[in-house]
Chains A and B, each alone.
Chain A
Amino acid sequence: MTAVHPPEGTAPAGAARTAPPSARAARQKVGRTVADLHRVLVLAGGLSPEHEVSVRSGLRVAESLRRLDVEVQTADVDAALLGRLAADPPQAVFPVLHGAPGEDGVIREVLEISGVPYVGARPDACRAAFSKPIAKSLVAAEGVPVPRGVTLPKAAFRDLGARELVDRIAAALGLPLFVKPDQGGSAFGAAPAATAEELSNALVSSFAYGDTAMVEERIDGTEIAVGVVDTGDGPVALPPVEIVPDGGVYDYSARYTAGRTEFFAPARLDGAAVGAAMDAALTAHRALGLRDLSRTDMIVEPSGRVVFLEANVAPGMTETSLFPMALQAAGMDFGITCRELAHRALLRG
């Protein structure tokens, strides 16, 4: 396993630092000297199934920066990108690509070797976060609860016999279960399974999106997402956003059709649970070596136990997305935050 770079500008391990909302908002009003931030390139689109979501996220980030008089261009990841970076290098790149190659480290490797500053986690941190099972083990090592699960490639089912293996998994983990591709977002290929037959179906659906599937015990509780953002004083956990989809599963339709899901920002949790959730998100952000921003998805059991599901290095920024909602709940302006992140990238060089 590759070593994980420590995130820059972070507080000593163990100390979660968050300023009260009013102080953060006040500092945003005064602002830093971001006047030297002229030209930002927003990367959006990509070739993953999340292409359309990424395009909309990118539009929103670009528009919010333009309103603050930052000159923004948008580009997709294609054969023209390298030439463009060489001929007309931006001051900073804001990658808003979801899925591969945006969140798996590939594009960031390219940006590193092109010498272009960019917002967000570095390549090896991306690789750690993008692989759900690897992310889980890194976060579990820091004491955060994770669901029990197994990760297997489709070849294992072919070579060892699918029926027996499916039955063995159901026996070992118990039902109900939840299946998802080991990489990727927006719930593509993800499905619950209440029986062994459903588990078989869910695995086939998952293998349509990737060669490896992760099967986990299904956790009952309140589904939440906690954003983390670092605009210079170390990572700050945002108020948790609670997700209540119609029909009970936060699938693609529930995520991107306005009206199909009800959100509570901040979440309807007691103080202890909120604190635990925000701590867990910060722990995940650090354990995975993330930088600038992230969104961690979790479930809070009725007992108050917070269970980590996954962390995302380029969270969605659409009008139905969780990260912008969390910023708003914290009293932070979306555009100003984006600009500060781009500025930080520029200062890093």
Chain B
Amino acid sequence: MTTDPRETTGRPAPQGSRIDPYVDSYAARAQGMVASEVRALFAVASRPEVVSLAGGMPNVSALPLEEMGDIVRRVTTEQGATALQYGSAQGDPALRERICEVMALEGIDASAEDVIVTVGSQQALDLVTRVFIDPGDVVLAEAPTYVTAINTFAAFQADIQHVAMDEEGVLPEALEERLTALAAAGRRAKFFYTVPNFQNPAGVTLTAGRRRRVLEICRRHGLLVLEDNPYGLLRYEGEAERALRADAPDNVIYLGSFSKTLSPGFRIGWALAPSAVRAKLVLAAESAMLSHSTFNQLVVGRYLAEHPWREQIKEFNEMYRERRDAMLASLEAMMPPGTSWTRPEGGFFVWVTLPEGLDAKAMLPRAVGERVAYVPGTGFFASDEGHRNMRLSFCYPTPAQIREGVRRLVGVIENEAALRDTFGTTPAPPAPGGDAPTPDLP
């Protein structure tokens, strides 16, 4: 006969354990940080057998590694004492000058004094949010918007409200309506967050006419604009638009990054802000990190000074254009009726809308089972929206892999449509935890 351990040992009834001894200590903002099924599926998506159209990683295979190695060596031997020492929280002055040269390509006229170098533009986003947002403050964002921005705003307990968008970017009337409604309710938004070029995730670009109207509306309502522009120079066709910051230097905080135009591995991004804001950002950066990597800043500064970096970007654009074309051609050739998608003029992403009744998040396990991955649209909304959408990345896989990935995806969509026909359209209840990996991470 089996033995009851308590009869043998005479121990009293056991205490429960939650494994985590700090379960009652976490801040309210940490409550949503839980293991999620969707993240588990993304762990499988990194396997080579899976064609991942999910990750937003730039393709760094085209980088000139020999030259890069040479620069690293020279920074170490010629500037070692500086490179290996603490720097200032605002960042290396020479690099900030170079950054102004880069921004000039988008019409921005800026002083290096108003630039702060950050650990990727992600940190710039974090610092701006830290400096402006109290719990409950309203942040306006496009519908959809960049997932990690949502996570950052949520970490500071913002009230994130989405504003409708179409293939030309955010709808100015919708923005005006929302601001008016907020004012009527005695509330105000702290800033409007936009990714105006080849948006992550929607792929769309805010047209020139819309930019003028958005700036006018924001000026009239006294609303700060947070312009996040990591993809602006990755344009494959058409004419570049002037940055919002170019036409409204006092109302716009501009975030830039070298992650897609050079490499994400250096973690060099920046914020360009009106001087009073910039002063606060520098203080916030100090308490976040003391100073950025002096070494990385000097390497990137040298690269910009000594190498034809515009040519390098052209080379990247050739490569990405080919992939974008493969993606659009495959979608055109294979997607079933009832699906639609955006046609980006640059950047990395296409935003697909599935036929009525299908749910991209509910479909993800089946897709991963068929060895293709994408990011469900729900990850890009703070509210429970985006179920019919998928973000497809074309930056990383080869054109042949893209075609194969779309082929597999179409099979999954057709099976899912058949399943929905069988059962009638049924909405999936929201599951806990994050709905997307941090797309830029492998």
Q: B-contacting residues of A (Cβ < 8 Å)? A: 16, 18, 20-22, 45, 47-53, 55, 78, 154, 157-158, 162-163, 166, 186, 188-189, 197, 200-201, 203-205, 207-209, 237, 239, 244, 251-253, 255-266, 268, 271, 274-275, 278-279, 282, 319-320, 329-330
Contacts and interface: CB of A to CB of B under 8 A. Distances in A.
Nearest to B366: A208
A264 B1 contact: no
B23 A49 contact: no
Contact of A266 (B6, B421, B432): B6
B338 interface: no
B433 A253 contact: yes
Contact of B3 (A18, A55, A189): A18
B40 A319 contact: no
B428 interface: yes
Interface residues of B, number: 53
B8 A49 contact: no
8 contacts: A21-B8, A22-B9, A45-B47, A203-B423, A239-B5, A257-B35, A258-B18, A319-B19
* Nearest 10 pairs of A and B residues by beta carbon: A259-B23, A258-B20, A256-B35, A259-B20, A52-B43, A278-B2, A257-B34, A262-B16, A271-B4, A258-B19
B37 A252 contact: yes
Contacts of A255: 35
A263 B36 contact: no
Nearest to B8: A20
A4 B411 CA distance: 37
Contacts of A319: 19
Contact of B16 (A258, A263, A329): A263
Nearest to B368: A49
Nearest to A187: B37
Interface string B37-70: 1011101100111100000000000000000000
A255 B423 CA distance: 29
B263 to A, nearest CB: 27
A207 B415 CA distance: 11
B323 to A, nearest CB: 25
A252 B434 CA distance: 13
B36 A265 contact: no
A251 B431 CA distance: 10
Given A78-B48, A237-B2, A275-B1, A261 B40 contact: no
A162 B423 contact: yes
B47 A271 contact: no
A54 to B, nearest CB: 10
Contact of A51 (B14, B40, B423, B431): B40
Interface string B374-394: 000000000000000000000
Given A49-B368, A162-B422, A253 B36 contact: yes
A320 B20 CA distance: 9
Nearest to B47: A47
B18 A262 contact: yes
Interface string B391-433: 0000000000000000000000000001111111011110111
B442 interface: no
B369 interface: yes
B194 to A, nearest CB: 32
Nearest to B7: A271
A203 B422 CA distance: 11
Nearest to A279: B2
Contacts of A251: 431
Given A18-B3, A49-B37, A53-B40, A263 B19 contact: yes
Given A205-B428, A262-B16, 9 more contacts: A49-B40, A166-B423, A201-B426, A204-B419, A208-B366, A257-B433, A259-B22, A266-B14, A274-B6
Contacts of A203: 423
Contacts of B249: none
Contact of A275 (B4, B15, B368): B4
Given A200-B426, A239-B5, A257-B34, A50 B18 contact: no
B365 A49 contact: yes
B2 A263 contact: no
A244 B16 contact: yes
Nearest to A273: B4
B72 interface: no
B287 interface: no
Contacts of B3: 18, 20, 275
B363 interface: yes
Contacts of B363: 208
B185 interface: no
Contact of A253 (B43, B364, B368, B431): B431
B1 A52 contact: no
Interface in B195-214: none
Contacts of A275: 1-4
A320 B420 CA distance: 36
B154 interface: no
Nearest to A209: B365
B13 interface: yes
Contacts of B432: 253
Contacts of B85: none
Given A47-B44, A253-B35, A162 B424 contact: yes
Nearest to B369: A209
Contact of A263 (B18, B39, B369, B419): B18
Contacts of A157: 422-423
A266 B19 CA distance: 15
Contacts of B47: 45, 47, 51, 78
Given A18-B2, A201-B426, A266-B5, A259 B18 contact: yes
A61 to B, nearest CB: 18
A154 B417 CA distance: 13
Given A51-B43, A237-B2, A163 B424 contact: yes
B40 A258 contact: no
Nearest to A207: B419
Interface in B158-188: none
B19 A271 contact: no
Contact of B17 (A21, A48, A154, A262): A262
Nearest to B416: A208
A255 B440 CA distance: 27
B246 interface: no
B366 A51 contact: no
Contacts of A282: 2
